[in-house]
Amino acid sequence: MFERREYDLSGKELRHVVLRGADFRAGGIADCRLRGVDIWNVEISADLQNVVINGVDVAPLIEAELDRRDPERAKMRPATPEGFREAWTILEGRWAATVERARTFPEERLHEPVGDEWSFIQTLRHLCFASDAWVGRMILGDPSPWHPLDLPWDEAPGWEGIPWDREARPGLDEVLAVRRERQAMVAKAIGALTPERLSGTVTMREPGWPQIEEFPIKECLLIVLNEEYQHHQYAERDLAALQG
């Protein structure tokens, strides 16, 4: 069972601290200085902004390298309705190929986590949750769009009325049926975009998550694109590991 722990070190001064073998998840490091430290054999997966290492802001360099490795990655940051439609078409094509690859595995393996990450089926369940949250709830205005198989992120605080059964083991076809409905919902919302609609905002005051006022529709859709793109990367990585 997943165990959630929270530590807040805001405002603390840490000296002569060694973090060998540490594992940080879903936290934040902001407005900090690390001086005179050794950073060896470190793997970081993060949203980087103004990260200056030895006098160099490395965030733009990393973004440029990731875009170089995958030229279609830059299309995941669209600014027009047409750009969103193109991005969604790309993602649907990539996921279709990945699902076909996953079908070559025994289904039991698709429930198998790689390291301490989600299994392939849990990844699909999380994407259903993301679509429900940012399109079903925020853009379409349904305060409770959830399916029982929706899976929030592990470090989520938990909310009354929102499903969160990490240990469920539905079949691939069962999850894909929900997934196809959510993909169609997102495709319909993106297909109906106009410049005026894209520049608008949405508000959701009902209990649950997200609960935001005057949030840009564009940002809702960018979150969905990012979730789809990043988790596709993870899914391909994990299938390769299972195959290996």
pLDDT in tens, 170-210: 999 999 999 999 999 999 999 999 999 999 999 999 999 99
Closest listed residue to residue 182, CA positions, set 130, 110, 232:
130
118: exposed, middle or buried (Cβ count in 10 Å: 0-12, 13-18, 19+): buried
- Cα–Cα distance, 219 to 196 (Å, whole number): 14
Domains of the chain by start residue, with CATH: 69-243 (1.20.120.450)
Residue 147: strand, helix, or coil = coil
Average of per-residue pLDDT across 213-241: 97
Question: pLDDT for 97-122, tens place per residue?
Answer: 999 999 999 999 999 998 889 999 99
pLDDT, residue 24, reads: 73
Cα–Cα distance measured from residue 151 to residue 149, given in angstroms and rounded to the nearest whole number: 6
Predicted TM-score (pTM) of this structure: 0.88
pLDDT at 28: 73
- Encoded amino acid at 75, one letter: K
Is the peptide bond prior to 210 cis by the omega test (within 30 degrees of 0)? Answer: yes
Span 18-43, mean pLDDT?
Answer: 76
